[in-house]
Amino acid sequence: MAKFSVGVDIEEVHRFNSLIRNSRFLKRVFTPREIQYCMGKKNKSQHFAVRFAAKEAVWKALSEVLKNLNRTVSHNQVGIKNTAAGKPEVVLPPALSKWKKKISISLSHTNAYAVATAFVER
């Protein structure tokens, strides 16, 4: 078995222009902290899109771990927050907390695209 796994996701920002007007979608996919953070930004769609991409990348990188643990994780159980220095980090549910220190993520976005990469040490 590999000693690490990688997940990557890219999203078109324009898709989130209408999605983020739907409160059910927001609550189903994002944590309250993420919603508050993104709603406070000028370009809300970019910030929601990159957090969505990060959740997808983390899910892809953790897929083998989740399979072995016989667990599933919903989008709003994976959170993305920024450290005091501004570096993004993953917030996981308590049952997966031991994996938090083994995950590194990188986020980037433009007006058109948002991309995220997650790297998990196993």
Give the CATH number, domain containing residue 83. Answer: 3.90.470.20
pTM greater than the 0.85 cutoff:
yes
Which range of residues forms the domain containing residue 34? Answer: 4-121
Would you state the pLDDT for residue 101? Answer: 86
* Tokens standing for residue 16: 């989130």
Would you state the pLDDT for residue 13? Answer: 98
Kindly give the parts of the chain with pLDDT less than 70. 1
Q: How many domains does the chain have?
A: 1
**Cα radius of gyration rounded to whole Å, the chain:** 14
Q: For residue 107, what are the CA distances in angstroms to 12, 15, 43, 69, 122?
A: 14, 18, 15, 27, 21
Would you state the pLDDT for residue 72? Answer: 86
Would you state the pLDDT for residue 1? Answer: 60
Would you state the pLDDT for residue 57? Answer: 97
User: Within 10 Å of residue 90's Cβ, how many Cβ atoms?
Assistant: 24
